[in-house]
Protein backbone atom coordinates (compact mmCIF):
# COMPACT_ATOMS: atom_id res chain seq x y z
CA UNK A 1 0.00 0.00 0.00
CA UNK A 2 1.52 3.29 -1.14
CA UNK A 3 0.59 6.65 0.36
CA UNK A 4 1.66 10.16 -0.53
CA UNK A 5 4.06 12.03 1.71
CA UNK A 6 2.79 15.48 2.69
CA UNK A 7 4.53 18.46 4.23
CA UNK A 8 3.30 20.23 7.36
CA UNK A 9 1.20 22.59 5.25
CA UNK A 10 -0.78 19.62 3.90
CA UNK A 11 0.67 19.80 0.39
CA UNK A 12 1.89 16.79 -1.57
CA UNK A 13 5.69 16.55 -1.73
CA UNK A 14 5.54 14.34 -4.82
CA UNK A 15 7.00 11.37 -2.97
CA UNK A 16 5.31 8.18 -1.83
CA UNK A 17 6.12 5.59 0.81
CA UNK A 18 5.18 1.94 1.03
CA UNK A 19 3.18 0.91 4.08
CA UNK A 20 3.99 -2.60 5.21
CA UNK A 21 1.12 -5.04 4.63
CA UNK A 22 2.21 -6.95 7.74
CA UNK A 23 1.53 -3.88 9.89
CA UNK A 24 -1.01 -1.69 8.07
CA UNK A 25 -2.83 -4.27 5.95
CA UNK A 26 -3.74 -7.25 8.12
CA UNK A 27 -7.18 -8.63 8.90
CA UNK A 28 -8.09 -6.90 12.20
CA UNK A 29 -8.52 -9.14 15.23
CA UNK A 30 -11.38 -7.65 17.24
CA UNK A 31 -10.80 -9.77 20.33
CA UNK A 32 -7.13 -8.80 20.54
CA UNK A 33 -8.14 -5.14 20.26
CA UNK A 34 -10.73 -5.61 23.02
CA UNK A 35 -8.22 -7.17 25.41
CA UNK A 36 -5.52 -4.59 24.76
CA UNK A 37 -7.90 -1.65 25.20
CA UNK A 38 -9.33 -3.26 28.33
CA UNK A 39 -5.83 -3.61 29.79
CA UNK A 40 -4.92 -0.01 28.90
CA UNK A 41 -8.03 1.38 30.61
CA UNK A 42 -7.56 -0.91 33.61
CA UNK A 43 -3.99 0.34 34.03
CA UNK A 44 -5.28 3.92 34.19
CA UNK A 45 -7.29 3.14 37.32
CA UNK A 46 -5.56 4.11 40.56
CA UNK A 47 -7.53 1.64 42.65
CA UNK A 48 -7.30 3.89 45.74
CA UNK A 49 -11.03 3.79 46.50
CA UNK A 50 -11.86 2.97 50.13
CA UNK A 51 -14.98 2.98 52.30
CA UNK A 52 -15.04 2.48 56.07
CA UNK A 53 -16.49 -0.79 57.30
CA UNK A 54 -18.05 -1.29 60.72
CA UNK A 55 -14.76 -2.11 62.41
CA UNK A 56 -13.33 1.25 61.30
CA UNK A 57 -16.23 3.43 62.43
CA UNK A 58 -15.82 5.52 65.59
CA UNK A 59 -18.72 4.91 67.95
CA UNK A 60 -20.01 3.17 71.05
CA UNK A 61 -19.99 -0.60 71.29
CA UNK A 62 -22.96 -0.56 73.66
CA UNK A 63 -25.79 -2.86 72.73
CA UNK A 64 -28.43 -0.36 71.67
CA UNK A 65 -31.50 -2.33 72.70
CA UNK A 66 -32.43 -5.59 74.34
CA UNK A 67 -32.16 -8.78 72.32
CA UNK A 68 -35.80 -9.87 72.44
CA UNK A 69 -39.23 -8.43 72.88
CA UNK A 70 -38.92 -5.28 70.78
CA UNK A 71 -40.80 -6.61 67.79
CA UNK A 72 -37.98 -5.63 65.48
CA UNK A 73 -34.75 -7.25 64.38
CA UNK A 74 -31.99 -7.71 66.94
CA UNK A 75 -29.18 -5.15 66.83
CA UNK A 76 -25.86 -5.33 68.63
CA UNK A 77 -24.02 -2.20 67.49
CA UNK A 78 -24.77 1.31 66.30
CA UNK A 79 -21.89 0.85 63.85
CA UNK A 80 -23.80 -1.72 61.83
CA UNK A 81 -24.29 -0.96 58.16
CA UNK A 82 -28.09 -1.01 58.51
CA UNK A 83 -27.98 2.20 60.57
CA UNK A 84 -27.29 5.72 59.41
CA UNK A 85 -23.68 6.58 60.17
CA UNK A 86 -22.69 2.94 60.33
CA UNK A 87 -20.02 1.22 58.31
CA UNK A 88 -20.56 0.22 54.70
CA UNK A 89 -21.18 -3.43 53.98
CA UNK A 90 -18.73 -4.95 51.51
CA UNK A 91 -17.44 -1.51 50.54
CA UNK A 92 -14.65 -0.91 48.00
CA UNK A 93 -11.08 -1.58 49.11
CA UNK A 94 -7.77 -0.54 47.51
CA UNK A 95 -6.84 -2.94 44.73
CA UNK A 96 -4.73 -3.29 41.61
CA UNK A 97 -6.78 -3.51 38.40
CA UNK A 98 -3.86 -4.26 36.08
CA UNK A 99 -3.48 -7.63 34.38
CA UNK A 100 -0.95 -9.26 32.09
CA UNK A 101 -1.24 -9.76 28.34
CA UNK A 102 1.03 -11.69 26.02
CA UNK A 103 3.41 -9.51 23.96
CA UNK A 104 2.35 -11.17 20.71
CA UNK A 105 -1.31 -10.42 21.44
CA UNK A 106 -0.55 -6.76 22.17
CA UNK A 107 1.46 -6.54 18.94
CA UNK A 108 -1.44 -8.08 17.01
CA UNK A 109 -3.88 -5.59 18.58
CA UNK A 110 -1.76 -2.60 17.57
CA UNK A 111 -1.35 -3.86 14.01
CA UNK A 112 -5.12 -4.44 13.86
CA UNK A 113 -5.80 -0.88 15.04
CA UNK A 114 -3.39 0.61 12.49
CA UNK A 115 -4.92 -1.52 9.73
CA UNK A 116 -8.41 -0.27 10.62
CA UNK A 117 -7.31 3.36 10.50
CA UNK A 118 -5.37 2.85 7.27
CA UNK A 119 -8.37 1.15 5.66
CA UNK A 120 -10.62 4.04 6.74
CA UNK A 121 -8.19 6.58 5.17
CA UNK A 122 -7.51 8.14 8.57
CA UNK A 123 -3.75 7.75 8.32
CA UNK A 124 -1.47 10.49 6.93
CA UNK A 125 2.30 10.38 6.37
CA UNK A 126 4.20 13.66 6.65
CA UNK A 127 7.85 14.49 6.26
CA UNK A 128 9.84 14.94 9.46
CA UNK A 129 9.41 18.40 10.94
CA UNK A 130 10.49 20.48 13.91
CA UNK A 131 9.86 23.91 15.43
CA UNK A 132 12.61 26.34 16.29
CA UNK A 133 10.86 27.23 19.53
CA UNK A 134 7.85 25.80 21.37
CA UNK A 135 4.83 27.70 20.12
CA UNK A 136 1.23 26.48 20.26
CA UNK A 137 0.20 28.68 17.32
CA UNK A 138 2.64 26.84 15.02
CA UNK A 139 1.15 23.51 16.02
CA UNK A 140 -2.40 24.78 15.53
CA UNK A 141 -1.43 25.83 11.99
CA UNK A 142 -0.34 22.22 11.35
CA UNK A 143 -3.66 20.93 12.72
CA UNK A 144 -5.59 23.29 10.45
CA UNK A 145 -3.57 22.15 7.45
CA UNK A 146 -4.82 18.60 8.02
CA UNK A 147 -8.33 19.71 9.06
CA UNK A 148 -8.05 18.23 12.55
CA UNK A 149 -8.04 21.43 14.60
CA UNK A 150 -11.49 20.49 16.01
CA UNK A 151 -10.98 16.71 15.99
CA UNK A 152 -8.90 14.22 17.92
CA UNK A 153 -5.47 13.70 16.39
CA UNK A 154 -2.43 11.58 17.15
CA UNK A 155 1.05 12.59 15.99
CA UNK A 156 3.65 9.82 15.89
CA UNK A 157 7.26 11.05 15.80
CA UNK A 158 10.44 9.07 15.20
CA UNK A 159 12.17 10.42 18.31
CA UNK A 160 11.53 12.70 21.23
CA UNK A 161 10.90 16.20 19.91
CA UNK A 162 10.66 18.63 22.81
CA UNK A 163 9.56 21.68 20.83
CA UNK A 164 6.73 19.86 19.03
CA UNK A 165 5.61 18.18 22.26
CA UNK A 166 5.55 21.44 24.23
CA UNK A 167 3.70 23.18 21.40
CA UNK A 168 0.90 20.59 21.58
CA UNK A 169 0.70 20.14 25.34
CA UNK A 170 -2.09 22.70 25.88
CA UNK A 171 -4.35 21.16 23.22
CA UNK A 172 -6.65 18.54 24.73
CA UNK A 173 -7.69 16.91 21.46
CA UNK A 174 -4.17 16.45 20.13
CA UNK A 175 -1.47 14.10 21.38
CA UNK A 176 2.19 13.75 20.37
CA UNK A 177 4.03 10.49 21.05
CA UNK A 178 7.10 8.57 19.92
CA UNK A 179 6.74 5.45 17.78
CA UNK A 180 7.73 3.31 20.78
CA UNK A 181 4.78 4.72 22.78
CA UNK A 182 2.16 3.65 20.25
CA UNK A 183 -0.83 1.89 21.85
CA UNK A 184 -4.09 0.43 20.59
CA UNK A 185 -6.38 2.75 22.54
CA UNK A 186 -4.57 5.88 21.33
CA UNK A 187 -4.71 4.74 17.71
CA UNK A 188 -8.42 3.96 17.73
CA UNK A 189 -9.36 7.00 19.80
CA UNK A 190 -7.96 9.43 17.22
CA UNK A 191 -9.95 10.72 14.27
CA UNK A 192 -6.74 11.05 12.28
CA UNK A 193 -3.20 9.75 12.77
CA UNK A 194 -0.29 11.79 11.43
CA UNK A 195 2.86 9.68 11.14
CA UNK A 196 6.25 11.14 10.24
CA UNK A 197 8.41 9.39 7.65
CA UNK A 198 11.11 8.67 10.19
CA UNK A 199 8.71 6.91 12.56
CA UNK A 200 7.48 4.44 9.91
CA UNK A 201 10.67 2.41 10.12
CA UNK A 202 10.44 2.32 13.92
CA UNK A 203 6.80 1.19 13.78
CA UNK A 204 7.64 -1.56 11.29
CA UNK A 205 10.58 -2.69 13.43
CA UNK A 206 8.55 -2.75 16.66
CA UNK A 207 5.50 -4.52 15.22
CA UNK A 208 7.06 -6.89 12.68
CA UNK A 209 8.82 -9.06 15.28
d(CA 119, CA 123): 8
The neighbour count for residue 135, using CB atoms within 10 Å, is 13
Q: Residue 89: its pLDDT value, please?
A: 92
In CATH terms, is domain 2-45+97-207 a member of 3.40.50.300?
A: no
User: Quick one: which H or E segment has residue 67?
Assistant: none
Question: What is the helix (H) or strand (E) element at residue 61, kind and residue range?
Answer: none
Query: Where do the domains of the chain lie?
Result: 2-45+97-207, 47-95
**pLDDT for residue 208:** 79
**DSSP output for the chain:** -EEEEE-TTS-EEEEEEEPPHHHHSSPP-HHHHHHHHHHHHHHT---------GGGS-S--S--S-SSSSSS-----TTSTTSTTSPPTT------------HHHHHHHHHHHHHHHHHTT-EEEE-----SS--HHHHHHHHHHTT-TTS-EEEEESS--HHHHHHHTT-TTEEEEEGGG--HHHHHH-SEEEEEHHHHHHHHHHH--
pLDDT for the residue numbered 209: 66
Give the number of other Cβ atoms within 10 Å of residue 121's Cβ.
9
Q: What is the pLDDT of residue 158?
A: 85
**Tens-level pLDDT at each residue, the chain (209 residues):** 788 889 888 888 888 888 889 999 999 999 999 999 999 999 999 999 999 999 999 988 899 999 999 999 999 899 999 999 999 999 999 999 999 999 999 999 999 999 999 999 999 999 988 888 999 999 999 999 999 989 999 999 988 888 999 999 999 999 999 998 999 999 999 999 999 998 998 898 888 76
pLDDT for the residue 141: 93
Amino acid sequence: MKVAVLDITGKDTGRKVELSKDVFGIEPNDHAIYLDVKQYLANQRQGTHKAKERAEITGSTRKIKKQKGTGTARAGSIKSGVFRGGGRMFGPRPRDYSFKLNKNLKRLARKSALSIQANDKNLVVVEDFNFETPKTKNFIDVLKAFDVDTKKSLFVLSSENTNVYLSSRNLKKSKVIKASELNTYGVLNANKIIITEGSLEDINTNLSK
